[in-house]
Homo-oligomer: A and B are copies of this chain.
Amino acid sequence: MLNASDNALLTQTGAGTPMGKLFRAFWQPVLLSSELPKPDCSPVKVTIMGEELRAFRASDGTVGLVEPRCPHRGADLFYGRNEDGGLRCVYHGWKFAADGRCMELPIVEPGPERDRMMARIKLKAYPARDFGGFIWAYLGPKEQVPALPQLEFALLPPAHSYVTKKLQQCNWAHPLEGAIDTAHFSFLHMAVSDEDDTDRLRWIRNDPAPRYTVVAHPAGLVLGAARKADNGDLYWRVSQFLMPNHVLAPNAHRGEIHAGQCYVPIDDNHCWIFNYTWNPERPLTEAERETYRKGLGVHPELDEQWVPVRNRLNDYLLDRDKQRTINYTGVDGISEQDAYICDSQGYIADRTSEHLAPTDLGIVRFRRLMLDAARKLEQGTRPEALSHPDGYCARGGGTVAPGATPFADVMRERFGHELGRITRAAPAVA
Contact = CB atoms under 8 A, between A and B. Distances in A.
Contacts of A323: 42, 81
A9 B354 CA distance: 34
Nearest to A41: B320
Contacts of A121: 355
Nearest to A331: B79
A109 B228 CA distance: 12
Interface in A1-48: 42
A16 B209 CA distance: 40
A184 B91 contact: yes
A333 to B, nearest CB: 14
A186 B345 contact: no
A107 B74 contact: no
Contact of A73 (B74, B91, B354): B354
Q: Tell me how many chains of this kind the complex includes.
A: 3
A341 B109 contact: no
A79 B357 contact: no
B42 A108 contact: no
A120 B51 CA distance: 44
Given A108-B357, A109-B209, A209-B109, A187 B90 contact: yes
Contact of A208 (B75, B83, B93, B340): B93
Given A74-B354, A117-B355, A349-B74, A187 B106 contact: yes
A341 B71 contact: no
Contacts of A91: 184, 187-188, 341
B357 A318 contact: no
Contacts of A42: 320, 323
B92 A349 contact: no
Contact of A75 (B79, B109, B318, B344): B344
A231 interface: no
A292 interface: no
A174 B359 CA distance: 52
Interface of A: 42, 69, 71-76, 78-79, 81, 83, 88-93, 105-109, 117, 121, 174, 177, 183-184, 186-188, 208-209, 318, 320, 323-324, 328-330, 340-341, 344-346, 349-351, 353-360
8 contacts: A69-B350, A73-B174, A75-B345, A79-B318, A81-B324, A88-B328, A93-B186, A107-B359
Contacts of A83: 324
Contact of A329 (B79, B108, B351): B79
A92 B353 contact: no
Contacts of A354: 71-74
B344 A76 contact: yes
Contacts of A106: 186-187, 208-209
Contacts of A320: 42
A72 B357 contact: yes
A212 to B, nearest CB: 11
A57 to B, nearest CB: 13
B345 A76 contact: yes
A52 B355 CA distance: 20
B188 A90 contact: yes
